Chains A and B, each alone.
Chain A
Amino acid sequence: MSNAELLAFVSARTLAFCALNLQVRNYLQLNVSLLYWILVAPFTGQFFKIAPIFRQMVFIGVRAAPMVALTAFSVGVTLAMQAAHSLESLGAEMYIPDLVMITLLREMGPVLIAVIVIGRSGSAVAAELGTMKVSEEIEALEVMAINPIQFLVVPRFLSMMVMLPALTIFGNYIGILGGWAVCVSALDFNTAGYVLRALESAETWDLYSGMIKSVVFAWIIITIACNAGLSVEGGAEGVGQATTTAVVQALLAMLVMNAVLTGIFFFAA
């Protein structure tokens, strides 16, 4: 490799690294200004408006409920069937409710519902903000002295932080219902037996750990989606790219964070 080639290679690497570095910095900057607008600005008299938060909550949360219900129900059914298959051979059918309950509360509930919300609301937020960016709407807000973070990102962030845990609780219920459907219709369980067994095995910490996870996921999903939307450049194509980026990055970050949190909660302790 000649000197010039080497130099070109090194400088290309450096550029790529700087670009990545800038992206990370932009993301951190978004988080910092978000915290500023939520925690500090209200004390300086710039309180965020409540109505848009509820509007976003309907969009992010309420409208996602049917999809979440369907997903959670299928997961509950699947878990019960798999558990029945494995545990029957050990003669331990009585532990099926335990398995369904704990798996749902700790892992499947928070993760799968986050996946649904990423696909549905994360992509929609990225696309919406991206479209606003390319059609000069964000610039128009700035020129009107309206901060886009305060006006657009804060309501989406707060509603996500409330609605993802709420959806997770809702999904957990439906999932347990799915397990019940299998146990009662196809196995030798009655409703009381299923409920008692499930409640006996699960601890409140199982629920809490799942809730903590879903709060962290909510943070990851909405900040990545908003960041992707607000950094769009170059028309409709850019919006499409940003939407894909938002979904892929949020999924990866969420799954990695799930492994980390499971490690902290159940493995290291």
Chain B
Amino acid sequence: MPADSKIIEVAGLVRKFGDRAVLNDISFNVDRGETLVIMGGSGCGKSTLLRHMIGAMKPTSGLVRLFGEEITTLKEREIERIRLRFGMLFQSGALLASLTVGENVALPLLQHTKRSIDEIEDIVKQKLGMVGLTGFENLKPDEISGGMKKRVGLARALALDPELLFSDEPTSGLDPIMTAVIDELTLKLARGRGMTAVVVSHDMTSAFRIATRMIMLGHGGIVAQGTPDEIRASSNPEVQQFIHGEADGPIPLNLSQEEHEHHQHVKPRPFARARGRFHRKTA
């Protein structure tokens, strides 16, 4: 297999908060054109794993390679170069509240390309059209619904036509029809343009619709991985409980308070305020 086909390589990734490993020895690869869905219960470390993949957090040990480059040791400037090649959809959309919807989508184009304003306007129209929001350019983010914000966030993530898309819960908060539209968009980009996608999701319908491969996280490690069919046929009771959404099963329901706080990363830390630097979290 040529080295180029591996877009993401995660090897032996360990991330500890205090002395508890939220991620414990995670290893997987993502090949070009794949759509990987990462699933798992709330607080199992999905978002933490995603943050490591985009270089926003540094692992306690292990390595993360994007496009063949080891990002855990790169300087901020070099990470920026890699960040131009991927898009990220945040759970809340993370739109800039001071800009209009159109300006939000135009932002990466204005900052990183030398295109004319007319060209940028056309691209913005096209991207907003892709997520079903034609004509919303001039509204402010607080004038549209949560699901719309998320779709604008997706349009913005796609503005630079990235080779790789990270999505954090792209369909939560969307109605079933919009979920299908977003799923089809992901599929179209993946199949048509060969875009690679890494999607964190709870939504099993959507996950099985888009995934070419799935990973289930739990207990800080990978519980199961495989194609959607393999996951459906998995004999692991935790997997079965999760994909069928059953209350009874091997997955513990109530985390203790202390464990929960670890999960949420809000365990009071002595340096919390000072360490909360905007650049990167190096706890």
Chain A contacts to B: CB under 8 angstroms: 15, 18-20, 22-23, 26, 128, 131-133, 135-148, 151, 230-234
Residues of chain B within 8 A of A148, CB atoms compared: 278
Bound state CA distance, A230 and B274, in angstroms?
A: 11
Shortest Cβ distance from B275 into A: residue: A22
Q: A19-B273, A145-B80, A233-B272 are in contact. Are A137 and B54 (CB under 8 A)?
A: no
Q: A143-B83, A145-B80, A145-B112 are in contact. Are A138 and B278 (CB under 8 A)?
A: yes
Task: Return B154 CB to nearest CB of chain A, in Å.
Answer: 12
**Contact (Cβ within 8 A) B111 A144:** yes
Residues of chain A within 8 A of B266, CB atoms compared: 234
Task: Return A235 CB to nearest CB of chain B, in Å.
Answer: 10
**Interface residues as binary, B85-119 with A (CB distance below 8 Å gives 1, 0 otherwise):** 00010111011111000000001100110000000
Q: A145-B84, A145-B112 are in contact. Are A136 and B90 (CB under 8 A)?
A: yes
Residues of chain B within 8 A of A230, CB atoms compared: 277-278
Bound state CA distance, A151 and B110, in angstroms?
A: 12
Given A133-B278, A233-B272, 15 extra CB contacts under 8 A: A22-B275, A132-B97, A135-B92, A136-B91, A136-B92, A138-B278, A139-B90, A142-B83, A144-B107, A145-B80, A145-B111, A146-B107, A151-B111, A231-B277, A234-B266
Residues of chain B within 8 A of A137, CB atoms compared: 94-97
6 closest cross-chain pairs (CB), A and B: A22-B274, A140-B94, A233-B276, A136-B94, A145-B80, A145-B83
**Contact (Cβ within 8 A) B270 A15:** yes
> Interface extent on B, as a size class?
20 to 34
**Contact (Cβ within 8 A) B276 A146:** no
Bound state CA distance, A166 and B98, in angstroms?
A: 26
**Contact (Cβ within 8 A) A231 B276:** yes
**Contact (Cβ within 8 A) A19 B278:** no
Residues of chain A within 8 A of B56, CB atoms compared: 139, 142-143
**Contact (Cβ within 8 A) A19 B83:** no
Residues of chain B within 8 A of A132, CB atoms compared: 96-97
Task: Return B8 CB to nearest CB of chain A, in Å.
Answer: 15
* Listed A/B pairs (29) with beta-carbon separation below 8 Å: A18-B270, A18-B271, A19-B273, A22-B274, A23-B273, A26-B277, A128-B98, A131-B97, A135-B92, A136-B94, A137-B96, A137-B97, A138-B278, A139-B94, A140-B90, A140-B95, A141-B96, A142-B56, A142-B83, A142-B279, A143-B54, A144-B83, A144-B107, A145-B112, A146-B111, A231-B273, A232-B276, A233-B272, A233-B276
Q: Which of B99-155 contact A (CB under 8 A)?
A: 107-108, 111-112
Residues of chain A within 8 A of B88, CB atoms compared: 140, 143-144
**Contact (Cβ within 8 A) B270 A19:** yes
Residues of chain A within 8 A of B270, CB atoms compared: 15, 18-19
**Interface residues as binary, B242-283 with A (CB distance below 8 Å gives 1, 0 otherwise):** 000000000000000000000000100011111111110000
Residues of chain A within 8 A of B80, CB atoms compared: 145, 147
Residues of chain A within 8 A of B90, CB atoms compared: 136, 139-140
Shortest Cβ distance from A25 into B: residue: B274
**Contact (Cβ within 8 A) B83 A23:** no
Shortest Cβ distance from A142 into B: residue: B56
Bound state CA distance, A140 and B95, in angstroms?
A: 8
Task: Return B221 CB to nearest CB of chain A, in Å.
Answer: 26
Task: Return A63 CB to nearest CB of chain B, in Å.
Answer: 15
Bound state CA distance, A135 and B274, in angstroms?
A: 19
Residues of chain B within 8 A of A135, CB atoms compared: 92, 94, 97
Bound state CA distance, A253 and B270, in angstroms?
A: 25
Bound state CA distance, A99 and B19, in angstroms?
A: 65
Shortest Cβ distance from A20 into B: residue: B274
Task: Return A28 CB to nearest CB of chain B, in Å.
Answer: 12
Identify which of B81, B108, B272 contacts A144 (C-beta below 8 A). Answer: B108
Bound state CA distance, A105 and B139, in angstroms?
A: 46
Shortest Cβ distance from A131 into B: residue: B97
Residues of chain B within 8 A of A232, CB atoms compared: 276
Residues of chain B within 8 A of A15, CB atoms compared: 270-271
Bound state CA distance, A31 and B83, in angstroms?
A: 25
Shortest Cβ distance from B81 into A: residue: A145
Most buried by A among B91, B92, B98, B273: B273
